[in-house]
Amino acid sequence: MAKKKHSSKLVAIFMLFLLVVSTLALYINFKSKSASTGLVAKIYYYDPIVHELVPVAQTIKGVDTRLVVLDVFNDLKNPPDKSLFPVITGSMKLSSVSISNGVCLINLSLDESELKTISLHREYAAVYGIVNTLTEIKGISEVQFKINGENRKYFSHYVEIDFPLSHFQGSFPKSVKANLFFPTTDFKTLAIEQREIPEATDPLVKCSYILHELFRGSLYGLPGLFSEDMIKNFSIQSGGIAIVDLNETVFNHPLGAHLENLFILSIVNTLTEIHDIESVQIKVNNHVLDSLFGSVDISSPIKRFFGNGDKYLVPYFSLQFNDNNFAVPMPVIARDYSFAKLFELMKKTDTGFITKITQKAKIIKESISEGTLNLVIDLGTVPSQKDMDVLKRTIVLSFTEIPGISKVNLSIGEESFLLGR
């Protein structure tokens, strides 16, 4: 009888063992299938043409949410379609990930200088490309950012990240292009760098955006004379006078006569790109000074190109640097605003910069209609598409420096282009 009970006990243990082994085998098989087949998630990439995020369905392997986040983050750097751009750079790394109550806290490791030079739309693409992708993962509803281990108000300059962000729907903010004046690489004069800024109808808001972008510095390697902590306040007075109030920190960076000239002119020319601004008064701690560093008189509002009532023709030339083209103004005092004279000045080859207008080029016809200059030109040659782009840019910048001209309707051969600054 005892022997029979012992046999039954062995059978029961054996059956229990088989049940455990079978359950474990099924679980392992399920896990392996899940890992091999993966889950389908949407990875968001950037379309620079329409300035939108585009979701692309991809299979993600793994079942651990934290590991999936790491895999997905790397996928953000490698869009499968050449028409799309990665929302993050190859140098950006994910230092740590933690998930609690649906909030995914990520700590990004990145180069501060790279972060400084990110454009408006690329900043939105980086932040919400990450957020939209991670919130597609089950168990994540919001994303909280840290940058290099720190909590920050902004990712770079425009997108606030000091609170958990949820899935973004809609379009990025509309933007406009602004012309910012920075020193050329040899510090001899100034060159224009175009920059995206948020669209604003209020001149005060628009000028504030522009001024902060100027003091932020060049995105493409042009020298800088500013730092963001130099700006204290900004306002606009009647008569189109912009008031730029600087902090005392400006005196921590003393400049010689020529660089002081470039410093002042960079601010004045950049702000007077705005139609409502006629001149700029520079102050320090709300005080009007005779000069910043002893060379340039800032005791009264300063006009564009230090204009003092003289008439100027301003031909623009091209500076090529770091695979980018910058427009360089070379103002000349003139008796009158002659279109023919300006066009001839643009042909000069002894400025140290590049002109795309040959000596054979000539103006065939010109007329003005409601602030638009209608200009028909015979180039005397057939330029490449790249040269044509540079040529159009320098022409519109040069001719819209003439008072009363805001646009150029340029005709070259059978092609016409309506151009603004």
What global pTM score does this model have?
A: 0.80
109 and 217 fall within a common domain: no
- Final residue belonging to a domain, choices 306, 326, 343: 306
Decide which of 170 and 12 is more confident.
170
134 and 256 fall within a common domain: no
Q: Smallest Cα–Cα separation from 67: which of 102, 104, 30? A: 104
Cβ neighbour number for residue 74 with a 10 Å cutoff: 12
The verdict on residue 7 lying in a domain is no
185 and 298 fall within a common domain: yes
| Number of domains composing the chain | 3
Give 141's contacts (C-beta < 8 A, 6+ positions apart): 102, 103, 135, 166
330 and 394 fall within a common domain: yes
The verdict on residue 164 lying in a domain is no
The verdict on residue 34 lying in a domain is no
The verdict on residue 347 lying in a domain is yes
- In the prediction, which pLDDT does 34 show? 44
Range of the domain at 181: 175-306
The verdict on residue 167 lying in a domain is no
- Final residue belonging to a domain, choices 132, 147, 162: 147
300 and 188 fall within a common domain: yes
- Final residue belonging to a domain, choices 275, 306, 337: 306
CATH at residue 135: 3.30.70.2210
Are residues 400 and 318 in contact, defined by beta-carbon separation less than 8 angstroms? no
220 and 290 fall within a common domain: yes
298 and 329 fall within a common domain: no
Are residues 121 and 51 in contact, defined by beta-carbon separation less than 8 angstroms? yes
CA gap 344, 30 in Å, rounded: 78
**What are the pLDDT digits (tens) for 271-329?**
999 988 999 999 999 999 999 999 999 999 999 999 988 899 999 999 999 889 999 99
Q: Smallest Cα–Cα separation from 395: which of 337, 310, 327? A: 327
The verdict on residue 5 lying in a domain is no
Apex CA 85: angle with CA 419 and CA 99, to 5°? 130
Are residues 253 and 227 in contact, defined by beta-carbon separation less than 8 angstroms? yes
**What are the pLDDT digits (tens) for 67-84?**
889 889 999 999 998 889
290 and 346 fall within a common domain: no
**What are the pLDDT digits (tens) for 88-127?**
988 899 999 999 999 999 999 998 888 877 889 999 999 9
**What are the pLDDT digits (tens) for 158-207?**
899 999 999 998 889 899 999 999 999 999 999 999 999 999 999 999 99
380 and 337 fall within a common domain: yes
The verdict on residue 232 lying in a domain is yes
- In the prediction, which pLDDT does 367 show? 97
